[in-house]
Chains A and B, each alone.
Chain A
Amino acid sequence: MSTTEIAGKTVEIDADGHLVNMNDWDENLASEIAKLEGISRLTERHWLVINFMRQVFKEKGDAPSIRRLTKESGVPTKELYELFPMGPAKKAAKIAGLPKPKGCI
């Protein structure tokens, strides 16, 4: 674990670069993390996924699987991969200030 500065805020991050404390997160921070991940601007659709992931994490203690994400957020698989290229579950979790998802699906 180490600390880093994102968007003028000092936050603790884990070995994968995810926030340790999800309460450190705010929308400003999300936009900055997204930029670091190569997503220059978060659209309404990105936010839909991000907010859904945070909500599921609060309820269940883990980020949703891609399948649940697509079924319940209403964002189809194809679009999810377009919104978060190179690994949607992991990337969306990172931007949402959550740890790397544990599931395999």
Chain B
Amino acid sequence: MSDIIYEPLKKVSIIVSRGSLDGIYPGLIMANGARMEGIEATLFFTFFGLDAIINKRMDKIKVATVGNPGMHMPTFLGAIPGMSAFTTGMMKKEMEKIDIPPIREFIEMVNDAGAELYACKASVDMFHLKKDDFCPQVKDIISVGKFYELSAGAQIIFT
């Protein structure tokens, strides 16, 4: 055992890169958990992770039932129409029981808790999006360089 005493975490920068329910929630839970502990939190949404903050999409996020070994379901079953919607419904019910809010409410909650939300410029350009396409909690569309600048002193977590 070493006697090194580590400094408590002061700041985290969380990257959300996936657009499925199971891809988005971990980042939101970690950001909210950080704020609950008094740790500064920045959320950076990139690639399909942008779906979590796009006004028209954020209420329609589903569980990935195909290509997700954690589902313990053969790929052809996961591909049946309605399977993803069904699984998503089940999961949402379980999440409600343990007080995990729907994505829109969760985004409002982490923002009210003091976390800052940003969209990735490269992805925004690639998908031809504008600032108006995002929910009001998104503070800005920023480059990777700006992201690193904002992450000074933070632990960067990629999800």
Contacts and interface: CB of A to CB of B under 8 A. Distances in A.
A88 interface: yes
- Identify whether the interface residues of A are mostly helix, strand, loop, or mixed: helix
Interface residues of B, number: 16
B133 interface: no
Contact of B114 (A81, A90, A103): A81
A25 B114 CA distance: 31
Contact of B36 (A66, A68, A70): A66
Contact of A90 (B32, B36, B101): B36
Nearest to A69: B99
Interface in B70-120: 98-101, 108-109, 112-114
Interface string A55-97: 0000000000111101000001110010001111110000000
B38 interface: yes
Contact of B112 (A65, A78, A87, A103): A78
A31 B32 CA distance: 27
Given A77-B109, A77-B112, A65 B37 contact: no
Chain A, interface size category, equals: 10 to 19
Contact of A81 (B35, B99, B101, B108): B35
A105 B38 contact: no
Nearest to A67: B99
Interface of A: 65-68, 70, 76-78, 81, 85-90, 103-105
Interface of B: 29, 32-33, 35-38, 98-101, 108-109, 112-114
